[in-house]
Structure 1
């Protein structure tokens, strides 16, 4: 059972604010949250030190134009589950690794690669060659309607959200990923580890000036190369159950996913994918009993959807490069480098 005192109301509001504006200064957030900048900084320091919340750089909208996203389902012997998960979590391409309840697959991976060729080499030559892997299925995301950087905790009211303003939308049609310089990649590597790293620290880490770091970072975000997201442990979200639905919908209905399934509460990931089951959706829920309710609601919103598989997550070993313990708290990092 989750400890109800792990995160205070101020903690929850702070996390939600950082989900909307991940790199906002404490001074900017202080009036909105009714606390001093010093208090907010101290609260955030505690949350990060305890592995309850963290901000990191992730691929932005431009990644959908030239990058490649796949979901890989691995099957292995029961005794090999933990060992295989730990091994795969060390691979930078496998950005998220989740153990599943016994079923058709034992592990689900989110895999990012800069192009299709690199993806095929990783899946066909590296993953398939692992001795613990008995079977494997790989599906590719053709459209991504919802993902972690768009998920919100729901702790702020409408007036507070209006003060924060709407996140700037970027179409991702800017700088090609291949045009990134060594400095760009160094900045991204630092921000993957800590998305709130200050410009002066970024300058020191990358051997440049704060002004140059600011200019290059603005270029990366404006072009949609990178975005930022605030992740949380279940003790903060209050949603310890993860379930991934796979299903089939007619092609015409798939284009409506962002107006139907993505609007349902607790939707964490929603994608159109290759294969017979052309819809993949992950929801974070309060308990196992909510799984059936969420499936019923999804089918009510999209009657043509036929759910073919329900994969219940038992533990997330790694989320977007960050290693997690059994309670979902961050314990370390294996930096992602999909750019």
Structure 2
């Protein structure tokens, strides 16, 4: 990975659909060079842009985290099978402990999650036990995570992404065209408008207008994901803990500001805080826990789940090195 590659990825984390022409002056390279660099990164599975649920999903959709236990010999087989299911947007194999797999589940409503868990997951022969908790507030998630390769002046030039108002159309009101556009953009969030028009059987102007409605209304957002070879953070750890109810709303001002915070949510259940961090090595796990408790003294960590391998992340299949190898489009809308 060159410095230009890293800067390019960070720029796309801030503005995932920016044109190469717009980014060229900022990064000190030609548009052709940037396009070529990005093509190599995506072909090698090192970085990719995809559509994800936007702010409106927090109001009308449902996010859950499922912890599964299975027989040791069934771990890989079960993870691969669940990765084919669109409701399980992220599938992570955990180091031996209380659970073997951790799933991020997104669905349009609570009933869909219950059916997926009770009728889908519970029916799988390898599942021995499971626990499902629901996110009541999401303070940090993957689309907000940054690589940190650009300096303050470059970030100033990029500007702040336009905030969505989060008041988009209810998920059930999306048209067939809306869903077709989202399907294509989950596969490749940088798909051009002309290509979107061809894929969905409409005009580029219509595709632009519908996409603008989806993003400004908060139905969809975009994020740039990376493999560990790019982030330099190969270790994933998820902390579960308990904090008094009157302290939970401080999470966005405390734990979410810590370096390497990838996910932070208030959840249902006895352990009402769930946080995932990407770290440089296992030795950093205790350092991160110590820092978290220092920032929020009322927090009591009850569980530390070390990730062994991410099989699927937000609909994208990954190999053992965390490189993208394929797509299983998510459809939480």
In 1, Cα distance between the equivalents of 2:315 and 2:198? 23
Q: CA deviation at 1:175?
A: 1.5
Q: CA deviation at 1:289?
A: 0.2
Count of matched residue positions in the alignment of Structure 1 and Structure 2: 332
Q: CA deviation at 1:174?
A: 2.4
Q: CA deviation at 1:102?
A: 0.4
Q: CA deviation at 1:171?
A: 3.4
In 2, Cα distance between the equivalents of 1:300 and 1:166? 30
Q: CA deviation at 1:170?
A: 1.9
- C-alpha distance after superposition, 1:46-88 (max 9, x if no partner): 0000000000000000001110000000000000000000000
Q: CA deviation at 1:178?
A: 1.3
Unmatched tracts of structure 1, length 5 or more: 1-7
In 1, Cα distance between the equivalents of 2:313 and 2:133? 19
Correspondence 1:195 to 2:189: yes
In 1, Cα distance between the equivalents of 2:76 and 2:178? 35
Q: CA deviation at 1:322?
A: 0.2
In 2, Cα distance between the equivalents of 1:274 and 1:204? 43
Q: CA deviation at 1:321?
A: 0.3
- C-alpha distance after superposition, 1:146-165 (max 9, x if no partner): 00000000000000000000
Correspondence 1:15 to 2:4: no
Correspondence 1:243 to 2:237: yes
In 1, Cα distance between the equivalents of 2:198 and 2:162? 28
In 1, Cα distance between the equivalents of 2:158 and 2:239? 33
3-state DSSP class of the match of 1:134? strand
Q: CA deviation at 1:313?
A: 0.0
- C-alpha distance after superposition, 1:14-37 (max 9, x if no partner): 000000000000000000000000
Q: CA deviation at 1:167?
A: 1.4
RMSD: 0.5
Greater CA deviation, 183-192 or 163-172?
163-172
Q: CA deviation at 1:207?
A: 0.4
In 2, Cα distance between the equivalents of 1:66 and 1:174? 10
TM-score (norm 2): 0.99
Q: CA deviation at 1:116?
A: 0.5
In 1, Cα distance between the equivalents of 2:246 and 2:192? 45
- C-alpha distance after superposition, 1:211-257 (max 9, x if no partner): 00000000000100000000000000000000000000001110000
- C-alpha distance after superposition, 1:275-310 (max 9, x if no partner): 000000000000000000000000000000000000
3-state DSSP class of the match of 2:127? coil
In 1, Cα distance between the equivalents of 2:304 and 2:164? 33
In 1, Cα distance between the equivalents of 2:253 and 2:14? 20
Q: Aligned residue for 1:260?
A: 254
In 2, Cα distance between the equivalents of 1:201 and 1:223? 23
TM-score (norm 1): 0.98
In 1, Cα distance between the equivalents of 2:165 and 2:306? 33
Greater CA deviation, 163-172 or 87-96?
163-172
Q: CA deviation at 1:319?
A: 0.2
Correspondence 1:125 to 2:142: no
Q: CA deviation at 1:137?
A: 0.2
- C-alpha distance after superposition, 1:104-152 (max 9, x if no partner): 0000000001001111000011001100000000000000000000000
In 2, Cα distance between the equivalents of 1:226 and 1:304? 35
Contact 2:88 2:104 in 1 (8 A): yes
3-state DSSP class of the match of 1:131? coil
In 2, Cα distance between the equivalents of 1:307 and 1:238? 26
